[in-house]
Chains A and B, each alone.
Chain A
């Protein structure tokens, strides 16, 4: 086994002394700011819904030469289809996406718009992608997406409640909600394109956030059984610090894959990757920031953990 250098983690400190409970008010303020800004932005700026939710037409076209954007804008906006948004993608300058707002006149009108654009683009452009979402489906997808997030949060909370005590379920749920809200907040604040893959990302973040809470809580539960006399704040601190190496390592490996997706995954996955990246950071620490201190207030009765000591001490 000498072909490898010594494992690098030998040199990484494994004994953390992070006083999470003592510094909790800093985290409260931090979390509160994130949530207030998020909710404020969602309430005032709303979301930049992609065509999945807002309806309309999205086309991706590749030109033979570098696209003259202002000319193309002029040409397409002359069609009377509302404000058409054109952006280049990639670095060749030949690929553009064309976003047409939802047309008045129901589902058929969207199709007419596609026809007009195709005619206007003519032979110089090769259409690589066309997406048309009518008003009916757009409205349904919004409901479906919201329902998915709400159901997932509920189902996860029920599961945690079932496996742990209600205090933990509540804590995990608070952490999870703060993650979902702040992720949505980022999308609202920076007016990033919000579509179906964003919902997928939010749900993945939800799953990941709770994943993290469970790892910490599992340790808290074990510690509660093991050190029956230790004061709760000290015990929570110890639990967090014991799992911190694992948390940092896992965040880093997931971070590596998310960055790979962000850099190499292409335009379609960009929104998804950005959401994941953000969710990774807030999600990992929400269980520590929010989920841990909450336990202090929730009347966590020690005697409930006094039963049979843990199977392996």
Chain B
């Protein structure tokens, strides 16, 4: 039962430290903003998006699109290789398991296989039957490309969101092909979703002199039929005959800004040196023809080239709205996504609801805590009061801990705190009931106090640890707000155990020493 002075000093040190670390939660942010940067570790708890308002988006990089694209690339490469080697073929087509080339003449088989393999060194090129060559993308290559695409997507998403200008966005990779975007303060993520929903692959092609067509059957070889983009003011229903060959790739763009030309919104762009030179060549060779600026497989503008455009910069007049011009410039600046993104999950909470949740949680905590306090004092008198001080200490250390480690408080997290208020006094109850039992069986007071603590401790430890296990599993398997619940529950159990065992014991010891105690007040 003895509680040494050293221990007492330790307990007070913990109390002071907890007060210090929990304090930022009570200081208004305007005051904290004036603190020097070296004090940034002295911070309040993070509030979850469900309390502060904001949006959570779970995105997935569509790797199946990537695989398809890779097959299309192989088809194109094989075509080029065969043309260079002058091997005649009847047909090239992509199936789910690879690209199949059917030759005119079976005698060319070995030559064709060698030519294709040379053009695509990382692919598995095999012969099928006596006149077909199969190109398979090895799993290793697929995986590498997927990994690369996810990292690149993460970077592009980050750039687009930075450009969009929200405060403290958080963009993290999750699992193999997912990205979590958290945007505090953004209650309506429609705009962000619009920005992230486009791959924004822009390429410069030439429009076929045929211009427009309505049926894909009528178009010349080496061209494709593309619709006009919905973002640009092009004649509706019009489909453009665009040459497949990419004249200048959008990857060569280094800057792009919205602007105005004769009062109409436009997008200015600038190429890097190589891209600028290429663009100059293309425009000089094709004066009088029409360029096709293609964004995500739709034509956004098809201007007639009035003369060579040299100097590496140009502009897109698409009859945009001001907002569309701004978005397009942003997308071009941030770069294209290697694959489309799918939105798997969205959770957004407005600041009003968040504030209401905080209020509701705080009320529940105050009322719940208050009721427990009243009950404990009624039930246990002086010792009940000790339990209440223990509870206050428990809350203090809990909040201090969450502040120091940068834990996030969510609405279910608040529920965890409230619940821990009820569960925490269990330790006190166990100890006190045991003391009462021992005292009634005829022991001296000192003896009863001591064995109350001793006998109850193992039980307290074992019984709390099981709830702790449940909380830990919830933490590892849960997401978002539920995780917040697991954190407060687990930390709450730890701090409440400490407070029941140390704080209560210290107080009981001080009480015992303070006078000639002969009876147990419980």
Instruction: List the interface of chain A (C-beta within 8 A of B).
Output: 1, 4-9, 14, 60, 62, 106-108, 110-111, 114-115, 118, 126-134, 136-137, 141, 144-145, 147-148, 151-152, 155-156, 159-160, 163, 196-197, 199-200, 203-204, 206-208, 210-212, 214-215, 218-219, 222, 242-243, 245-246, 249-250, 252-261, 263-266, 268-269, 272-273, 276, 311-312
Contact = CB atoms under 8 A, between A and B. Distances in A.
Contacts of B433: 243, 245-246, 249
Contacts of A258: 368, 419, 422
Interface stretch (B25-33, B249-257, B293-301, B348-356): B348-356
Given A200-B412, A203-B474, A218-B462, A260 B367 contact: yes
Interface residues of B, number: 82
A111 B466 contact: no
Contact of B467 (A8, A148, A207, A273): A207
A60 to B, nearest CB: 7
A9 B467 contact: no
B429 A246 contact: yes
Nearest to A149: B473
Given A128-B353, A129-B353, 14 more contacts: A4-B381, A199-B474, A206-B470, A207-B470, A210-B463, A210-B467, A211-B463, A211-B467, A214-B462, A218-B459, A257-B418, A260-B365, A263-B364, A269-B360
A133 B345 CA distance: 5
A127 B350 contact: yes
Given A203-B470, A260-B364, A130 B346 contact: yes
A264 B411 contact: no
B425 A253 contact: yes
23 contacts: A14-B436, A118-B190, A126-B350, A127-B350, A130-B347, A130-B348, A131-B348, A134-B344, A151-B477, A155-B469, A196-B479, A203-B474, A207-B466, A207-B468, A207-B470, A210-B467, A214-B466, A218-B459, A246-B426, A253-B375, A256-B368, A266-B357, A266-B361
Contacts of B343: 107-108, 110-111, 132, 134
B426 A266 contact: no
B352 A128 contact: yes
A6 B352 CA distance: 47
B430 interface: yes
Given A9-B522, A254-B423, A137 B58 contact: yes
A253 B60 CA distance: 45
Interface stretch (B206-214, B481-489, B499-507): B481-489
A118 to B, nearest CB: 8
B382 A253 contact: no
Contacts of A268: 50, 357, 411
Interface string B444-486: 0000000100110011001111111111011001110110011
Interface of B: prevailing SS: helix
Most chain B CB neighbours (cut-off 10 Å) among A9, A136, A242, A263: A9
A79 B501 CA distance: 61
A267 B461 CA distance: 34
B287 interface: no
A118 B190 CA distance: 10
Contacts of B426: 211, 246, 250, 253-254
Given A126-B352, A266-B360, A210 B466 contact: yes
A259 B185 CA distance: 32
B470 A276 contact: no
B482 A199 contact: yes
Contacts of A243: 433
Given A133-B345, A196-B478, A264-B363, A7 B521 contact: yes
Interface of A: prevailing SS: helix
B378 interface: yes
A200 B474 contact: yes
Contacts of B411: 266, 268-269
Contacts of B353: 60, 128-129
A242 B419 contact: no
A265 B364 contact: yes
Given A253-B429, A254-B422, A204 B381 contact: no
B421 interface: yes
A261 B364 contact: yes
B371 interface: yes
Contacts of B419: 204, 254, 257-258, 261, 276
Contact of A261 (B378, B382, B418, B474): B418
Contacts of B377: 4
Nearest to B374: A256
B188 interface: yes
A134 B59 CA distance: 11
Given A7-B379, A266-B357, A269-B415, A214 B463 contact: yes
B193 A111 contact: yes
Contact of B342 (A107, A147, A197, A261): A107
A9 B478 contact: no
Contacts of B364: 260-261, 263-265, 269
A8 B415 contact: no
B327 to A, nearest CB: 17
A199 B188 CA distance: 28
Contacts of A265: 360-361, 364, 414-415, 418
Most chain A CB neighbours (cut-off 10 Å) among B188, B375, B376, B466: B466
A62 B455 CA distance: 55
A163 B461 CA distance: 11
Interface string B391-424: 0000000000000000000011011001101110
Contacts of A263: 364, 367
A71 B466 CA distance: 51
A155 B473 contact: yes
Interface string B170-211: 000000000000000001101001000000000000000000
B95 to A, nearest CB: 23
Contacts of A199: 474, 478, 482
Contacts of B418: 257, 260-261, 265
Given A211-B464, A253-B375, A269-B412, A196 B190 contact: no
Contacts of B346: 111, 114, 130-132
Contacts of B486: 200
B425 A250 contact: yes
Contacts of A207: 466-471
B272 interface: no
A264 B418 CA distance: 11
B380 A9 contact: yes
Contact of B451 (A208, A253, A256, A312): A312
Most chain A CB neighbours (cut-off 10 Å) among B188, B193, B376, B423: B423
B384 interface: yes
A122 B512 CA distance: 69
Contacts of A137: 58, 344-345
Contact of A148 (B188, B379, B474): B474
B105 interface: no
B212 to A, nearest CB: 29
B151 to A, nearest CB: 21
Nearest to B440: A14
A30 B375 CA distance: 31
A152 B411 CA distance: 23
B130 interface: no
B117 interface: no
